């Protein structure tokens, strides 16, 4: 899943520039679904939880359990592709690849 690069919280109209640490969702009470509502950094996690609880009481967001799922970053520097990808690496970039010859 592609996430925003920064936290969803704005303080005094200024967006937080920290990267998200949690995906925030609300799990419906009847078990019919889970709805993603934001991504948030560690600094704003508690404040967002309190605000969502207030919004639930006011009926502005669905009732249910507020769920914070930690963001797990996955990065790779490998090349896995088709023949054209290896040709690009070998010819255009001048690098040798570990391509298996048929």
Q: What is the pLDDT of residues 68-93, one digit of tens each?
A: 999 987 766 665 666 666 666 666 66
Tell me the pLDDT tens digit for each residue of 10-55: 999 999 999 999 999 999 888 788 989 999 999 999 999 999 999 9
Which of 81, 73, 59, 102 is CA-nearest to residue 5? Answer: 73
- Whether 69 is in a domain gets the answer yes
Q: pLDDT value at position 52?
A: 95
In a domain, 99, yes or no: no
> Is there a domain that residue 97 lies in?
no
> Which pLDDT band, with edges at 50, 70 and 90, does 3 fall under?
confident
In a domain, 101, yes or no: no
State the total domains in the chain. 1
- For residue 85, the model assigns a pLDDT of 64
Rounded to an integer, what distance in angstroms lies between the CA atom of residue 96 and that of residue 101? 13
For residue 47, give its domain range: 10-92
């Amino acid at each position: 899943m592609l996430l925003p690069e920064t936290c969803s919280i704005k303080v005094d109209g200024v967006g937080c520039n920290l990267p998200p640490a949690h995906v925030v969702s609300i799990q419906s009470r009847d078990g019919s679904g889970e709805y993603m509502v934001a991504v948030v950094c560690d600094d704003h996690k508690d404040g967002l939880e309190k605000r969502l609880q207030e919004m639930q009481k006011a009926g502005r967001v669905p009732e249910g359990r507020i769920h914070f799922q930690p963001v797990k970053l996955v990065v790779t520097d490998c090349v896995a592709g088709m023949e054209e990808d290896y040709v690009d690496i070998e010819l255009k970039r001048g690098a040798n690849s570990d391509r298996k010859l048929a």
